[in-house]
Structure 1
Amino acid sequence: MFEVLVFVYENYWHGASCPEPAALEQKLGAVGFDAEEIAEALGWLQELSVAAREQPAPTTPPSTGYASPKPSSSEALAQSAHSQRIYTAAEQRHLGVACLGFVTFLESAGALPSYLREIVLERAMAAPARSMALADLKVIVLMVFWRLGIEPDALVLDELCDDCADRVAH
């Protein structure tokens, strides 16, 4: 499934430029992907679209310095600076230390706000693998950014696309 997702990411610059599922299915089949992989990836992408619609991005607070008297529903979903995400046992087993560490890294770097983190985690838990590989989680993060039309910072994009195994420590 992840090879199909990478192909879609590389060939369609933005989620809005991606063809309808039927046309995309034909294109992926013509390229040579397995029908089962295509069906799995298209289902995963459809669920990503649903998750993206259900999780609105929080709005920025007013610049006056005064608290808004009535927060919008998206502001209510925003995580407080003092809150902490506790991962369930199932999430810990499925994602593992490397993936959870990477999510924490992206959050601390300011690249993954809480509402995006929840979409990433939901989509990672929906992935068919028994335990998530870090490379697969990076594809999921890229696809979430892609679907929502968010262009990550160049350094974050480098982290997401680079294979850390080949890096040489200085």
Structure 2
Amino acid sequence: MFDVLVYLYENYWRPDACPDHDQLSKKLSAVGFESEEIQDALSWLDGLTHVADTCSTPQSAHAMRVYTPFEQEHLGTSSIAFISFLESAGVLPPAMRELVVDRAMATSNSPIDLDDLKIIVLMVFWSMGEEPDALILDELFVDATDRLIH
């Protein structure tokens, strides 16, 4: 599923640039993705669209997120720490954080892999029509072991 999401991010400027589901499924299949992988990704994106449309409750910038034990188990320590890092850096406002948490919880991986969480963050930005700044993109795409230290 995550490979399909990355493909969509890399090949479509915004979600509304994607063709309808039937056409997109055919195109993804022609590229080489498995049918189950395609359907999982499209269902996940539909969930993202639904949650983004219904999530209109404003949240205070000073609100603190408390994770339930189930969320802690499903997300894992490294993913929660990464979400907190993005929040403290000022690039993940509370409403977007909730989208990230919701979509992470909608995956079957437990605990979710940090690289998969980064794709979720990227897709939340993509679905909102926003592009994270260059430093955040670097954090989302570049493996820490590949970084050059100056």
1:44 matched to which residue of 2? 44
Please identify, of 116-125 and 45-54, the stretch whose mean Cα deviation from structure 2 is larger: 45-54
The DSSP-based 3-state class of the residue aligned with 1:110 is coil
TM-score, L = length of structure 1: 0.84
Instruction: Report how far residue 162 of structure 1 moved.
Output: 1.2
**For the residues of structure 1 that align with 2:91 and 2:26, how far apart are their CA atoms?**
34
Instruction: Report how far residue 52 of structure 1 moved.
Output: 1.2
Alignment of 1:1-170 (within 5 A): 1-56=1-56, 74=57, 77-81=58-62, 83-169=63-149
**For the residues of structure 1 that align with 2:26 and 2:113, how far apart are their CA atoms?**
28
TM-score, L = length of structure 2: 0.95
Q: How many residues align?
A: 150
**For the residues of structure 2 that align with 1:111 and 1:45, how far apart are their CA atoms?**
22
Per-residue Cα deviation, 1:135-167 (whole angstroms, up to 9, x for no partner): 000000000000110111111111111111323
**For the residues of structure 2 that align with 1:4 and 1:118, how far apart are their CA atoms?**
22
Please identify, of 153-162 and 118-127, the stretch whose mean Cα deviation from structure 2 is larger: 153-162
Which ranges of 4 or more aligned residues in structure 1 deviate by more than 2 Å?
A: 165-170
Please identify, of 34-43 and 158-167, the stretch whose mean Cα deviation from structure 2 is larger: 158-167
Q: Is the 8 A contact 2:61 2:93 kept in 1?
A: no
Per-residue Cα deviation, 1:62-121 (whole angstroms, up to 9, x for no partner): xxxxxxxxxxxx5xx22241x211001111111111110100000001100000000000
Q: Is the 8 A contact 2:86 2:92 kept in 1?
A: yes
User: Structure 1: which 5+ runs fail to align?
Assistant: 57-73
**RMSD value over aligned CA atoms?**
1.3
Instruction: Report how far residue 168 of structure 1 moved.
Output: 4.9
Please identify, of 108-117 and 11-20, the stretch whose mean Cα deviation from structure 2 is larger: 11-20
User: Structure 2: which 5+ runs fail to align?
Assistant: none
Which one has the largest radius of gyration? Answer: 1
The DSSP-based 3-state class of the residue aligned with 2:119 is helix
